[in-house]
Chain A
Amino acid sequence: MNKTSKTHLIIHLFALAHALACLFLYNTAIGDAVVLTCLTIAMGVTLVRFYNGPVEVLVGLLLLSSFAGFFLGTNGAILIQRIFPEMEEVYTHVLTTTLVTEFLGWVLFFVLRRKKV
């Protein structure tokens, strides 16, 4: 399996994990926020480790991806609810978190695959 295939696997698996966490935790008392944040950070760390990324920009990348995930996820769910008003709320969140995770994963990939200092 080459490096790009492994990247595909990492990102898709994390997107799936996000979707499952959201599906099972969204309507519970604990909520899905903490687990989703942990998963987003874990994806960032995995990709940084996989591409031997620089630790200097690790915090920046994790902060950006975690906040971007939060804001894109929240606003994306509202947008999807507007487009598909009959869709159940939990599914709009599952769909949003999957799309946002894929987006963040590939943005991280494009940043990390560049040459290092």
Chain B
Amino acid sequence: MKKVSKRTSLVEIFLLAAFVLIFRMVFEGAIPFFQNHFNLNFNETLGQLLRNYPLALLMVVLDFLLVWLLMRHFEYGTSPMARTAVEISGLALIAFISAFLLRATQIAQGDDVNAFFTYTFWYIALASLVFNAVIIAGIDIYAYYGRAQKKALDREIGQKNKARYQYQQLKRQMNPHFLFNSLNSLDYLIHTDPGKASEYVRKLASLYRYFLNIEDEKLVFLSDEVAFVRLYVDLLGQRFATGLQVTFRIEEEDLKKKIVPCGLQLLVENATKHNVISKDRPLYIDISSDGEWLAVRNNLQTKSYSVESTGLGLKNIRGQYLSASDKEIKINQGQDYFEVCLPLIE
């Protein structure tokens, strides 16, 4: 639905205020009219409606249903006049249905069947209209402000997640351990294989360029993230050699889908951080996709001396997903494996 300005125009306000005024005037004129001509009392008629408990309950349920349907089909701030028109039509329909049902009950109890749609019917409909208008208005206002509070809360959570994510990004960019290990590897390569050293520097530069490029992105293409992780794995490969074995099994069409930036890299980093990696006990990381999920699975060989995981990285990815798409990540752990599945977003 097209988003229109939330600011109400004067014409809209005038029309709505005129409607309320006319409704009030009709109501105020109708009460003495029915009282004087047909000896019908408003409070008594309203009492008849409300004393019929199943009918009263039905009216309230229909009121809730109407507001629920309005909330589903008319987002607040879009087409307010159309929404109001539908709301008033729904209100009139509920009033008509309740008057019809009450009259049907009265006829079943002995009233004249030929006098179904008489002034009594319309007076009941008026009483019902007023009652339901008050209920619907109350529910609608409550629902509106309930939603307003939820949106404000979501916005705050989103901002908190973003701040936490930016902090993590910054930390990752400046990660002294990674830089220290990379420089050590580079130093070794300069002495043993200058060609490889040069390639290593290029990869390292590309890695940092990626960090800079995705700084403000909420989601990135899987193809970009995979290319970035391949570079990252290459750099890790210099350090761990055959101790680290990473396989990519990504479906071609999934490369056009999106994930949160650095999500995949963080999972690979986590796996290398918390597990033993050696030539004798290689760490196998399997990265695969199935159209809906990107799964990162590794064999579990936890370091006995490692500091217990705070789970901050996963919490950060989860927060990013919730803020970007309302989707949850999945974590599966067995005796000998650990797996994290990231949702792929179209």
Q: Does B303 contact A (CB under 8 A)?
A: no
Question: What distance in Å separates the Cβ of A44 from its nearest Cβ neighbour in chain B?
Answer: 8
26 A-B pairs whose Cβ atoms sit less than 8 Å apart in the complex: A37-B21, A41-B17, A48-B8, A48-B13, A54-B76, A54-B77, A56-B77, A56-B83, A56-B144, A57-B137, A58-B13, A59-B137, A60-B138, A62-B17, A62-B20, A63-B133, A63-B134, A63-B137, A66-B20, A67-B130, A67-B133, A111-B141, A114-B149, A115-B149, A116-B6, A117-B144
Q: Does A30 contact B (CB under 8 A)?
A: no
Q: A42's closest neighbor in chain B, by CB? A: B17
In the complex, which range does the number of interface residues on chain B fall in? 35 or more
Within B88-129, which residues are at the interface with A (CB < 8 Å)?
Answer: 88
A115 to B151 alpha-carbon distance, docked (Å): 9
Beta-carbon contact of B141 and A49 below 8 Å: no
Mark A residues whose CB is within 8 Å of B.
33-34, 37-38, 41-42, 44-45, 48-49, 52-64, 66-67, 70, 111, 114-117
A56 to B147 alpha-carbon distance, docked (Å): 13
Question: What distance in Å separates the Cβ of A70 from its nearest Cβ neighbour in chain B?
Answer: 7
Say what secondary structure dominates the interface of chain B.
helix
Mark B residues whose CB is within 8 Å of A.
6-8, 12-13, 16-17, 19-21, 23-25, 28, 74, 76-77, 80-81, 83-84, 87-88, 130, 133-134, 136-138, 140-141, 144-145, 147-149, 151-152
Known contacts A37-B21, A53-B8; 16 further A-B pairs (Cβ under 8 A): A37-B28, A41-B21, A45-B17, A48-B8, A52-B6, A54-B6, A55-B8, A56-B74, A58-B8, A59-B88, A63-B133, A67-B134, A114-B145, A114-B148, A115-B152, A117-B147
A59 to B12 alpha-carbon distance, docked (Å): 11
A66 to B88 alpha-carbon distance, docked (Å): 17
A37 to B22 alpha-carbon distance, docked (Å): 10
Name the A residues within 8 Å of B87 (CB-CB).
59
Name the B residues within 8 Å of A56 (CB-CB).
74, 76-77, 80, 83-84, 140, 144
Beta-carbon contact of B13 and A117 below 8 Å: no
